[in-house]
Amino acid sequence: MVQFDEFGPEKILEVHDHKTGMHGFVVIDNTTLGPAKGGIRMTPSVTIDEVAKLARTMTWKNSVAGLPFGGGKAGIIADDRKLTKEQKLGIIGSFAKAIKAVCPKYYVAGPDMNTGEEEMKAFVEGNGNFRSATGKPANLCEYPGERCGIPHEFGSTGFGVFHSIMVACKFAKIKPGGASVAIEGFGNVGTFAMKHLTEKGFKVVGVSDSGGCIYNPEGLDYSRLMEVKQREGTVAKYQPGEVLPSGKVFELPVDILVPAAIPNSINEGNIDNVKARLIAEAANIPMTPEIEQKLHEKGVLVIPDFVANAGGVISSYAEYRGKNPQDMFYLVEKKIVRNTRKILRHARKAGVKPRDAAMEMAIARVRKAMAKKAAKPAAAAPAAETKPENQEPV
Q: What integer pLDDT is reported at residue 378 of this predicted model?
A: 60
Q: What integer pLDDT is reported at residue 376 of this predicted model?
A: 79
The C-alpha angle with vertex 329 and arms to 326 and 334, in degrees rounded to 5, equals: 125
Classify residue 197 by its DSSP letter.
H
Contact 239, 262 (CB under 8 A): no
Tell me the pLDDT tens digit for each residue of 341-373: 999 999 999 999 999 999 999 999 999 999 998
Q: Please give the Cα distance from 320 to 335 (Å, whole number).
A: 16
* Ranges of H-type helices in 65-146: 85-98, 117-127
Q: What integer pLDDT is reported at residue 383 of this predicted model?
A: 52
Domains of the chain and CATH, by start: 11-149 (3.40.50.10860), 156-308 (3.40.50.720)
Tell me the pLDDT tens digit for each residue of 270-328: 999 999 999 999 998 899 999 999 999 999 999 999 999 999 999 999 999 999 999 99
Provide the pLDDT confidence category of residue 392 given band limits of 50, 70 and 90. Answer: very low
Tell me the pLDDT tens digit for each residue of 188-208: 999 999 999 999 999 999 999
Is the alpha carbon torsion for 74, 77, 82, 84 positive or negative?
negative
Q: What integer pLDDT is reported at residue 388 of this predicted model?
A: 44
Q: Where are the beta strands (DSSP E) in 260-365?
A: 278-280, 301-303
73 is catalytic: yes
Mean pLDDT over 67-87 rounds to 96
Rounded to two decimals, the pTM is 0.89
Give the other-Cβ count within 10 Å of 155's Cβ: 23
Tell me the pLDDT tens digit for each residue of 215-272: 999 999 999 999 999 999 999 999 999 999 999 999 999 999 999 998 899 999 999 9
HSE-CB for 68 with a 13 A CA cutoff: 14
Tell me the pLDDT tens digit for each residue of 226-235: 999 999 999 9
Give the other-Cβ count within 10 Å of 252's Cβ: 21
- Would you say residue 387 has pLDDT above 60? no
Query: Which of the residues 11, 19, 37, 73 is marked catalytic?
Result: 73
